């Protein structure tokens, strides 16, 4: 409140993901850049071609954000400042006597916060928003889970819908037996537990 947006006229804004871009726009600021790959590394690569050495970059992000973005930008000669806007913490808001069908992870920090307070119940299918989150989940010993095809909330929902409907729908292909990808080995396992 009380911020005069004219003070930001010389600033350029980059976001990771269309949802963040829409949220920024709801405050009257249009993003100048949104990378094709919605990851910290994807944003770093997109910024690399648009910034000059010595340019200042302020990262507004989670306290638990990965170090990929600030490290790459600093390595490439940009002046980086980080401002933590929020912090993730695990809070269980469901009755653990009744296991969840699906447990969604939208960030590697979310994985860490969740496992600080427990584990995944037997029979619950974990769904990761993307490969960075999937690696964090695999690091906790979970080898079988779904990963969204698109790194977004919509991608998470689509992964669940495809799995729940009995298969992953690839464009132009029929629905097949649901598969959970083993992240470490790259093998897939169907609902019957058979490796494919």
Residue ranges per domain, the chain? Answer: 5-86, 102-190
pLDDT at 157: 93
pLDDT at 171: 31
pLDDT in tens, 92-137: 777 777 778 899 999 888 888 888 877 888 888 899 998 889 999 9
pLDDT at 178: 35
What CATH architecture applies to the domain 102-190?
3-Layer(aba) Sandwich (3.40)
pLDDT at 193: 43
Q: Return the percentage of the chain with pLDDT > 90, whole number.
A: 35
pLDDT in tens, 156-179: 999 999 998 886 432 323 323 334
pLDDT at 188 over 70: no
pLDDT at 58: 94
- Asked if 5-86 and 102-190 have one fold, the answer is yes
Quick one: angle between helices 108-115 and 131-138, nearest 10?
30
- For residue 186, with 0-12 CB atoms within 10 Å meaning exposed, 13-18 middle and 19 or more buried, which class applies? exposed
Type and span of the H or E element at 111: helix 108-115
Mean pLDDT of 21-38: 91
Q: CATH assignment of 5-86?
A: 3.40.50.10090
Mean pLDDT of 75-90: 87
pLDDT at 78 over 90: yes
pLDDT at 182 over 50: no
> Structure pTM?
0.66
Q: What mean pLDDT value characterizes the chain?
A: 80
More confident residue, 49 or 60: 60
Mean pLDDT of 61-67: 84
Work out whether strand 179-182 and strand 144-147 pair parallel, antiparallel, or are unpaired. Answer: antiparallel
Beta carbons of 35 and 46 less than 8 angstroms apart: yes
Q: In the numeric block, which tokens belong to residue 60? A: 């507004």
Beta carbons of 131 and 147 less than 8 angstroms apart: yes
Helix (H, G, I), strand (E, B) or coil at 152: coil
């Amino acid at each position: 409140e009380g911020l005069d947006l004219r003070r930001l006229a010389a600033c350029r804004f980059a976001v990771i993901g269309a949802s963040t871009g829409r949220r920024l726009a709801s405050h009257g600021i249009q993003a100048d850049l949104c990378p094709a790959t919605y990851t910290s590394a994807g944003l770093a690569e997109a910024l690399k071609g648009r910034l000059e050495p010595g340019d200042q970059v302020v990262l507004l992000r989670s306290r638990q954000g990965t170090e990929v973005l600030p490290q790459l930008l600093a390595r490439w000669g940009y002046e980086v400042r980080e401002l933590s806007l929020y912090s993730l913490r695990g809070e269980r808001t469901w009755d653990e006597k009744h296991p969840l069908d699906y447990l969604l992870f939208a960030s590697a920090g979310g994985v860490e916060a969740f496992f600080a307070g427990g584990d995944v119940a037997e029979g619950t299918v974990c769904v990761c928003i993307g490969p960075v989150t999937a690696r964090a989940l695999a690091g906790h010993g979970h080898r079988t889970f779904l990963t969204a095809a698109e790194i977004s909330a919509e991608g998470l929902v689509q992964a669940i819908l495809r799995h729940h409907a009995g298969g992953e729908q690839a464009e132009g292909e029929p629905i097949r037996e649901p598969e959970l990808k083993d992240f470490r080995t790259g093998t897939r396992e169907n609902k019957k537990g058979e490796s494919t």
